[in-house]
Amino acid sequence: MTTQPVIPVIIDADPGVDDFLAIAMAVANSHLDLVGVTTVGGNASLEDTTANALKTLHAFGADDIEVARGAESGLTRPFVYARDFHGPGGLSMGLPLPTRSLASTDAGEWLATQLSDAPKPVTLLPIGPLTNIALLLESYPDITSSIREMIVMGGAVDGPGNRTEFAEFNTWNDPEAAERVFKSGIPITLIGLDVCNLVTFAPPDVESSQTPCGEMMRAWFKTHPDREVFQLCDPLAVAVAIDPSIVEIDVTGVSLDCSNDETRGNTYRDSNGPLLSVATHVDAVRARRLIAELVL
Ligand SMILES: [Ca+2]
């Protein structure tokens, strides 16, 4: 029997209900070593997403994992939150806030230090607007060699968006940041709505779960009686870090619409754009099973 090497990962998140599940997966899976969590505004304000990151780690007995606070606004515009979807404070149920400190430096400096000091290149899992990563690359342009790869939840290359007809929420909230990150030359796998929409939980999946994620899902379905399924967007990015074979990849040029038009935030195929590994198909049964085994 072979032992899989442990992959050091840092999650950059805007918790968020699906971020809650994604962080839970990284804590639970022994193949990933969660080095820390950096926070960004997005689903809710930075104040809320940072508190939610602390609450999330606490819920899974991981108070030892550092949390560094990042950007409260996009590069050119304030974030627009998604409180109707995730809950007024970004989560669908109340959770205790642990009494512990944040990292003493902000997300950019914290990331630069962690990445530089890491014994081997780290995988970044950005699952919110890409503002923190864009700012990191601006301040520390040489840091790219310390990043093994990025598995990004964002975009909707071959299909419609969810924030607008054209754009997925994360790329819509800070397309200028996403464009900088996509052009960085760091190997990027893009987990967009094309595949995320196919990997879901329905109420029967979570009705008997005794875990915090099961409880969170039930609370979410209770506040969204019109929804038949919950799309496992951020968890799918973590699932791909654990088992890349659950998605099929197309390496293609991708560009971003940074205009102020209705198409702002659109990700689209463009032979002149930077080459990204875009997930175009997913084995939804295996992906869902992998996620469920870790969180339910
Ligand atoms: Ca997120």
Q: In angstroms, what is the span from residue 44 Cα to ligand 1's centroid?
A: 10
Could you tell me the pTM of the whole model? 0.97
Q: In angstroms, what is the span from residue 57 Cα to ligand 1's centroid?
A: 15
Q: What is the largest CA-CA distance in the chain?
A: 55
For 16-73, strand residue ranges (E) read 32-39, 66-69
**How does pLDDT run across 156-206, given as a tens digit for each residue?**
999 999 999 999 999 999 999 999 999 999 999 999 999 999 999 999 999
253 occurs within a structural domain: yes
Q: In angstroms, what is the span from residue 21 Cα to ligand 1's centroid?
A: 10
52 occurs within a structural domain: yes
Cα–Cα distance between 138 and 140 in angstroms, integer? 6
Cα–Cα distance between 72 and 26 in angstroms, integer? 24
User: pLDDT value at position 61?
Assistant: 97
Locate 296 and state its tokens. Answer: 């339910």
* Number of domains comprising the chain: 1
Q: What is the CATH number of the domain that holds 162?
A: 3.90.245.10
Strands 122-126 and 147-153 come out as parallel
Q: How many residues does the chain have?
A: 296
**How does pLDDT run across 102-117, given as a tens digit for each residue?**
999 999 999 999 999 9
Structural domain for 128, as ranges: 7-295
Q: In angstroms, what is the span from residue 262 Cα to ligand 1's centroid?
A: 22
Q: In angstroms, what is the span from residue 164 Cα to ligand 1's centroid?
A: 17
173 occurs within a structural domain: yes
**Cβ neighbour number for residue 19 with a 10 Å cutoff:** 31
Identify the residue whose tokens are 């560009």: 255
Q: In angstroms, what is the span from residue 116 Cα to ligand 1's centroid?
A: 25
Q: In angstroms, what is the span from residue 214 Cα to ligand 1's centroid?
A: 18
Q: In angstroms, what is the span from residue 20 Cα to ligand 1's centroid?
A: 9
160 occurs within a structural domain: yes
Q: In angstroms, what is the span from residue 10 Cα to ligand 1's centroid?
A: 14
Mean pLDDT of 204-209: 98
**How does pLDDT run across 15-65, given as a tens digit for each residue?**
999 999 999 999 999 999 999 999 999 999 999 999 999 999 999 999 999
Q: In angstroms, what is the span from residue 43 Cα to ligand 1's centroid?
A: 7
Q: In angstroms, what is the span from residue 233 Cα to ligand 1's centroid?
A: 8
147 occurs within a structural domain: yes
User: pLDDT value at position 2?
Assistant: 56
Q: How confident is the model at residue 4 (pLDDT cuts 50, 70, 90)?
A: confident
Strands 147-153 and 188-191 come out as parallel
Is residue 31 within 8 A of residue 6, CB to CB? The reply is: yes
Burial profile 221-250: b = 16 or more Cβ within 10 angstroms, e = fewer: beeeeeeeebbbbbbbbbbbbbeeebbeee
**How does pLDDT run across 60-92, given as a tens digit for each residue?**
999 999 999 999 999 999 999 999 999 989 999
Comparing CA positions, the residue from 255, 250, 256, 251 lying closest to residue 282 is 250
Locate 116 and state its tokens. Answer: 């530089």
Q: In angstroms, what is the span from residue 153 Cα to ligand 1's centroid?
A: 8
Q: In angstroms, what is the span from residue 2 Cα to ligand 1's centroid?
A: 33
Q: In angstroms, what is the span from residue 231 Cα to ligand 1's centroid?
A: 12
Q: In angstroms, what is the span from residue 13 Cα to ligand 1's centroid?
A: 5
Q: In angstroms, what is the span from residue 128 Cα to ligand 1's centroid?
A: 4
Cα–Cα distance between 2 and 99 in angstroms, integer? 40
User: pLDDT value at position 35?
Assistant: 98
Task: Quote the mean pLDDT of the chain.
Answer: 97
2 occurs within a structural domain: no
203 occurs within a structural domain: yes
Is residue 159 within 8 A of residue 45, CB to CB? The reply is: no
1 occurs within a structural domain: no
Asked if pLDDT for residue 208 goes beyond 60, the answer is yes
Please give the DSSP secondary-structure letter assigned to residue 144: G
